Structure 1
Amino acid sequence: MPAPGPDANRARYVDLLRGVAILLVVLGHWLITALVRHPDGTITAPELLATVRWTQWLTLGFQIMPMFFLAGGYAAGASWSRHLADGAARGGGSAVGWVRARAVRLLLPAAAYTGFALAGLGVARAAGADPGLLGMVGWALAMQFWFLPVYLVISAATPWLYAAYRRWGLGSVAALGGAAVIVDVIDLAGGGSWHRWVGTLNYLLVWAVAYQLGFAWQGGQFTGRPCLGWALAGGGAAGFALLVAYGPFPVSLILVTGEEVSNTDPPSVAMLAWVLAQCGLCLVAARPVERLLRSERLWRTVRPLGRASMTLYLWHMVPVLVVAAAFYLTDLAPEPAVGSGAWWAWRPVWLAVLAAGLLGLLAALRPLGRALTGLAAAARPQAPVRRPYALLAGVACTVVPLATWATRGFAPDGTPSPAAVMAFAAGVGLILLPPPQHRPARAAEEAQAGG
């Protein structure tokens, strides 16, 4: 088999970045999950980053969402530019059709997962499960949802973000970064709830910086210019170190309860610096890793990770709940003090059990994955496509409940919110609404009959 060309190597590297990012998210969540069974039989989950504070340094290795947004921007830039070229050949392309196809690919797996999670919580509630326990379970099942509304909105804004990149190049990245700094200064100033609302803009601005860098990467702005990657990596790392050492920002790149300033809720200027540093390292590593991925044997090992990344991300906390029920409720699991030497010694066993459970779950979900892939393929961009308002309303209706579930869980008081469920279902329905098809033959027949 001939070796893949440069474009194929780059696509492989992008897939690798996405897969590695999701894998590290999964491992990070599993590693910091701590469970304690009390004498009365209840189980609590103490926050490791708050209980054992040195573990906050571990987040420097596990906060790799900049890598995912960088890869996402590269893939979106390539897809959108192809769509524009195809549209020009056909006499016009539809941004609505492209955005709808991207939204469907993101929301179909999320909707399937949400349906299973809500059904499970509903059955447990009907069976008389403790509302407090269900609240904790619902939070664990939805904790990863913060990513979905952010990525959905940024994906929907791709046509405008890409146009800004084509016009201003890396200046568009600088503009987004500058806006994020201003927003963070306003948020830190405090003085009213409106500051907090302004601060939430950084969920989009900071992560859009990495996404926009993906456009620049795809557009060739870093090709043959490793100094730019090193400048991003070095400047971002130095900025992060200075902001943590002399500013109000903590070292943790994950939210820690009790801290007055967070780097992630919303993303801070320190997180912005980390975004630049991590994206720079990814760009510096691109050429040597692309050469390694020319090996078909290595690629056959890496490829399944990229294909299963969304399933891994959505379902990875389910094995935690199953193992907790099987080993902690039955008092079979050893329970050394959280953060002790014995507790850390058991971590590899904990990770291995969870990995085995997740592999079994992935095998069971394979038919569902194939069905969802088929549905997503049916929603590929079509032109011309109308109903932009239906798509906009669908995105809005899904973003709000997804953000709510990410912060409060599926069932904060033991019972899922009917309003959130209905809003999400309505939003997914509006996005899945098939576009109207032109029927010129029928139109001609009607014109002839009327004439």
Structure 2
Amino acid sequence: MDPTGRDRYIDFLRAWAIVCVVVGHWLITALVRAPGGEVTAPELLLAVPGTQWLTLAFQIMPLFFLAGGHAASGSWARAREAGAGAADWVGARALRLLLPAGAYSALALLALAVCAGLGVDPGTLATVGWALAMQFWFLPVYLLLSAATPVLHAAHRRWGVRVPAAMAVAALLVDVLVLAAGTPYIGPLNYILVWGVAYQAGFCWRDGLLTGRGRAPAALPAALTAGGALAFAALVALGPFPVSLILVTGQRVSNTDPPSAAMLAWTVAQIGLCLLLAPAVRRLLDRARVWRAVRPVGGASMTLYLWHMVPVLVVAAAFYLTGLAPQPALGSGGWWALRLPWLAVLGVVLATLVRVLRPWERGLTALYAWTTAGSGRGGRLWCGLALSTAALTRFAGHGFAPGGRVPVLPALGLALGVALVASAGRRRTARLRDDGSAVTEAA
């Protein structure tokens, strides 16, 4: 714990997950300049199948949902004790995602629209639009789980670990129906069920139900780690599931689109390992030097998550369009040796970008404080969340410029959705702090 009572380990998990996502995406991004000057991005996991094993280390999204559930559990509990309603809390949490995501989307869409007006090749626009939105799949899932937190937490208070256990069983049933009965239309349920297991496990973790307090055995974290890892190995070796934890073109079964039984097993293993390492990592985080290194990354997590593919486009324009970048054969020893300077250059560009965006972040923080100064318009909130979730889902699946054209309706839907959520609570008498507690104000 830091002096304010925050659990540093939760902030560390967010920071670690962000670093893994950023480095993982950069590592598997391959650029090739054709003789005609155009730059393409071959799919490394498909071209060099052995690289699919790397996804076991870099598929770290379970930690996002685990840490998010832990934080949301404490935030909602404090808000309830302070007398805040579900709509107040959900609206405040949603805005913390929607404001930066909406601002990022607006800038990306505007830039693509300008490029389209200048006559940039539609294929290039589609590729760039996909790269800028590839990380968006996380946002609608997290928004839905956040919106359901009051209900999920009520179930947790009544049934404890039986809730994530039931969600896991339901996820397995969905996978069986998809694979054996040929009902792929129910597969998307696993976005909520599988990631919901990690989110709900965060509730249980905060209340000591997974770490030896109460009736939980002290060996449970080790059992989760070993059981999840063995189940994953069996599902890959004996079942129809690939080893890759990222979607690979042409694979009949994917572990992420939607999350599969193998992804569920890997999620359970990661949860167990996270619990096992918690005491040692917490001791390390008590060191001032270590915490000073971790804290800024956690604080800028949303900015890093949203903007981390922009440096790839900058480097592509500076070194690949100009022909300055060396191009050894994809997957060769020379190509892997160049990954180190590639990562270093991208890191410098991203660090510079984060510095440039600091005034933008401060502006969003001020807007967040202003827009969470009201309450009592639940219908507007839920409508805004529905529009925002639908638009973000569309961008996640098709990018910002499918077919080289900027999608006007999803863009308008996101703008209207964010505006509705932001305006849903004007003139309220209780304002939520960032940690979820309430401050009484005059109307």
Q: Determine if the TM-score, normalized by the shorter chain, exceeds 0.5.
A: yes
Distance in 1 between residues matched to 2:154 and 2:234, nearest whole Å = 34
Is the Cα contact below 8 Å between 2:174 and 2:186 reproduced in 1? yes
The match for 1:391 among 372, 375, 381 is 381
Whole-angstrom distance in 2 between the partners of 1:278 and 1:234: 10
2:35 alignment partner AA: P
- CA distance in structure 2 between the aligned counterparts of 1:86 and 1:287, rounded to whole angstroms: 31
Name the SS for the 1:339 alignment partner: coil
> Which of 394, 400, 410 lines up with 1:410 in the alignment?
400
Deviation string, structure 1 residues 392-420 (Cα, Å, up to 9, x no partner): 11111011121111111100111111111
Equivalent residue number for residue 141 of structure 2: 150
Query: Between Structure 1 and Structure 2, how many residues are aligned?
Result: 425
Structure 2 residue 31 is the aligned partner of structure 1 residue 21: no
Partner of residue 432, structure 2 = none
Shift of residue 265, structure 1, vs aligned partner: 0.4
CA positional deviation for 1:169: 0.5
Task: Output the CA distance in 1 between the equivalents of 2:371 and 2:277.
Answer: 35
Q: Does 1:57 align with 2:57?
A: no
Structure 1 pair 438/372, CA: closer, same or farther in 2 (3 Å)?
A: closer
Instruction: Map 1:28-427 to 2 at 5 A.
Output: 28-87=24-83, 93-189=84-180, 191=182, 195-224=183-212, 225-380=217-372, 385-427=375-417
Measure the CA separation in 1 of the matches of 2:198 and 2:156.
13
- The offset of 1:196, in angstroms, is 2.3
Distance 1:98 1:267 in 2: 28
**Letter aligned with residue 245 of structure 1:** A
Q: Which amino acid aligns with 2:277?
A: A
The one-letter code of the counterpart of 2:339 is R
How far apart in 2 are the matches of 1:426 and 1:189?
41
Is the contact between residue 373 and residue 428 of structure 2 (CA under 8 Å) also seen in structure 1? no
Relative to structure 2, which stretch is displaced further, 428-437 or 210-219? 428-437
Q: CA deviation at 1:438?
A: 6.2
How far did 1:153 drift? 0.4
Question: How far apart, in 2, do the equivalents of 1:432 and 1:190 lie?
Answer: 43
- Offset at residue 4 of structure 1 (A): 4.3
Q: d(CA) in 2 for partners of 1:250 and 1:375?
A: 44
User: 1:448: which partner in 2?
Assistant: none
Give how far 1:296 is off: 2.0
Aligned partners of 1:402 and 1:336: how far apart in 2? Answer: 37
Partner of 1:442: none
Letter in 2 for 1:17: L
1:378 to partner: Cα distance:
3.2
> Structure 2: how far apart are the matches of 1:47 and 1:241?
25
Contact 1:98–1:380 (CA under 8 A) maintained in structure 2? no
Give the superposition deviation at 1:11.
Answer: 1.1
Q: In the TM superposition, what whole-angstrom CA distance separates every residue of 1:161-184 from its partner, at most 9, and x where no partner exists?
A: 111111101000111111111111
Which of 420, 424, 429 is matched with 1:430 structurally? 420
Tell me the distance in 2 between the aligned counterparts of 1:156 and 1:62: 27
Partners of 1:437 and 1:419 lie apart in 2 by 30
Superposition RMSD in Å? 1.5
Q: Given residue 120 of structure 1, which amino acid in structure 2 is its aligned partner?
A: A
TM-score by length of 2: 0.93
Unaligned runs of 5+ in 1: 88-92, 440-451
Give the match for residue 447 of structure 1.
none
Task: Read off the aligned partner of 1:130 and give its amino acid letter.
Answer: D
SS in 1 for 2:401: coil
**1:18 maps to amino acid:** R
Q: Percent identity?
A: 59
Distance (Å, rounded) in 2 between the aligned partners of 1:257 and 1:436: 47
Q: State the secondary structure of the residue aligned to 1:413.
A: helix
The one-letter amino acid of 1:378's match is W
TM-superposed CA distance for 1:436, in Å, is 4.5
> Which has the larger displacement, 288-297 or 145-154?
288-297
Deviations 1:15-70 (A, max 9, x none): 00011101100000000000111111111110000000000000000000001110
Q: 1:367 to 1:4 in 2, by over 3 A?
A: closer
**Larger Cα Rg: Structure 1 or Structure 2?**
1
| Aligned-pair CA distance for 1:299 | 1.0
Alignment deviations for residues 170-203 of structure 1 (CA, whole Å, 9 cap, x no partner): 0001111111111111111354xxx222100101
Q: Which moved more, 1:393-402 or 1:237-246?
A: 393-402
Q: What letter corresponds to residue 128 of structure 1 in structure 2?
A: G
In the alignment, the residues of structure 1 paired with residue 130 and residue 2 of structure 2 have an alpha-carbon distance, to the nearest angstrom, of 44
Change (3 A) 1:371 1:77: same
- The one-letter code matched in structure 2 to 1:399 is T
Cα offset, 1:379, TM superposition: 4.1
Give the match's secondary structure for 1:257.
Answer: coil
| CA contact 2:376–2:425 (8 Å) conserved in 1 | yes
1:292–1:381: structure 2 CA closer, same or farther, 3 Å change rule?
A: farther
Secondary structure at the aligned position of 1:410 is classed as coil
2-structure distance, mates of 1:137, 1:279 = 34
> 3-state SS of the aligned residue for 1:300?
helix
Unaligned runs of 5+ in 2: 430-443
How big is each residue's C-alpha offset from its partner over 1:289-322, in whole Å with a ceiling of 9 and x where there is no partner? 1122112222111100100111000000000001
**One-letter amino acid of the structure 1 residue matched with residue 384 of structure 2:** G
